[in-house]
């Protein structure tokens, strides 16, 4: 079984400041890990994914995340927040042994960007 915990349901950051969204997972086998972003009344857009290659993963819109096996973490960062980053962010895990590749999502973190 696997699960995802996102620390902080709401995060407020100033424009230009660092964005840090925390994600911890539990998994009985090596995981695949993902970050998705969701804008109001929209579906989810893939930001980046870890699939057992490089542990530092770069995604779209200037986001990146680092897989740390020892800490079972996959935190998402962006050096400088833009107003357009205001959205909800979801961390998700999939088991490498799951042939069907279904995703287990965290509860999400709502990001507010203030001028």
Partner 1 sequence: DTGVSQNPRHKITKRGQNVTFRCDPISEHNRLYWYRQTLGQGPEFLTYFQNEAQLEKSRLLSDRFSAERPKGSFSTLEIQRTEQGDSAMYLCATGTGGDYGYTFGSGTRLTVV
The contact set with partner 1 (CB under 8 A) reads: 4, 9, 32, 34, 36, 41-46, 49, 51, 90, 92, 94, 100-108
Shortest spacing between CB 34 and partner 1, in angstroms: 7
3-class secondary-structure state, position 70: helix
The number of beta carbons lying within 10 Å of the beta carbon of residue 95 is 19
The number of beta carbons lying within 10 Å of the beta carbon of residue 92 is 23
Shortest spacing between CB 22 and partner 1, in angstroms: 15
Residue 19 or 90 with smaller CB distance to partner 1: 90
Show the tokens assigned to 105.
């999502």
Residue 10 or 69 with smaller CB distance to partner 1: 10
Distance, in Å, from the CA atom of 28 to the CA atom of 48, rounded to the nearest integer, reads 22
Shortest spacing between CB 80 and partner 1, in angstroms: 25
């Amino acid at each position: 079984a696997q699960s995802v915990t996102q620390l902080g349901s709401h995060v407020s950051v100033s424009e230009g400041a660092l964005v840090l969204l925390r994600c911890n997972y539990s998994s009985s086998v090596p995981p695949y890990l993902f970050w998705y972003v969701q804008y109001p009344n929209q579906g989810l857009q893939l930001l980046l994914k870890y699939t057992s290659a490089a542990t530092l993963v770069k995604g779209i819109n200037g986001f990146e995340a680092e897989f740390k096996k020892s800490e079972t973490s996959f935190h998402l960062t962006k050096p400088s927040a833009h107003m357009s980053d205001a959205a909800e962010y979801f961390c998700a895990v999939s088991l490498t042994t799951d042939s069907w590749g279904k995703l287990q999502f965290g509860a999400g973190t709502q990001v507010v960007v203030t001028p």
